[in-house]
Amino acid sequence: MRNPRPSKQEPMHDAAETVSARLATAAVSDLDEASLIRAAQKGNADAFERLVRQYDRSVLRIAMNLLRAPEEARDVYQEAFLKVYRNLHSFRFDCSFHTWLYRIVTNVCLDHLRKRKVRREESMIVDTSDGPVDRVSQVVEEGPHSDPERRMWNSQLAGKIERALSALTPRERTVFELRHYEGLRLRAIGEIIGTTEEAAKNCLFRATQKMRSSLESFV
């Protein structure tokens, strides 16, 4: 006796749609970055999501390094990718996507830095009932065998570096962070912040001199 055929076509239709969706997702996973960008520009949500996953950690790291404020960094993360989504159609492959994305992220970070009315908002010193306390010094180094003296020295150094970074202008801080924390070349940094390689070099020199001056008595 033959097995009866399904009396309804809807389940088969749904199964076909599911297979098609899986094939489409698999196809997206095989695309290189340029093809992903073109697919995202045409409205492919899976392609855009993959681009986000590819760069999300880098974007959040840059925001954290520049702003030193977790909540604000997460806001920048959301704002930056929203700008990417809205402006992806304008990307013309005249520079790398990496550079184009970093330009958006750093510009958003610069806007946040410039909007801070008082530079003291970045200070790591807070007033408590026991007097002024450096928040960085409250961070305990992990590991049961940590050397207390070394831990204290590291905490003091971290606080000193943070205050030195806070004393830089937003532009100087951006260039310094991109060079020393992201390891970007000066030419790429110039492209990201919209200036020349020579201007980026001069900005880095000023930032480095200020950092050395601030840390000279400590190190």
Nearest CA to 192 out of 205, 177, 207 is that of 177
Could you tell me the pLDDT band of residue 204, with boundaries at 50, 70 and 90?
very high
What do you get for the CA distance between the two ends of the chain, in Å? 89
Confidence (pTM):
0.68
pLDDT band at 196 (very low <50, low <70, confident <90, very high): very high
Domains of the chain: 23-115 (1.10.1740.10)
**Phi and psi for 163 in degrees, rounded to 5?**
-70, -35
Q: Is the pLDDT of residue 4 over 70?
A: no
H or E element in which residue 127 lies:
strand 125-128
Residue, of 140 and 208, whose pLDDT is higher: 208
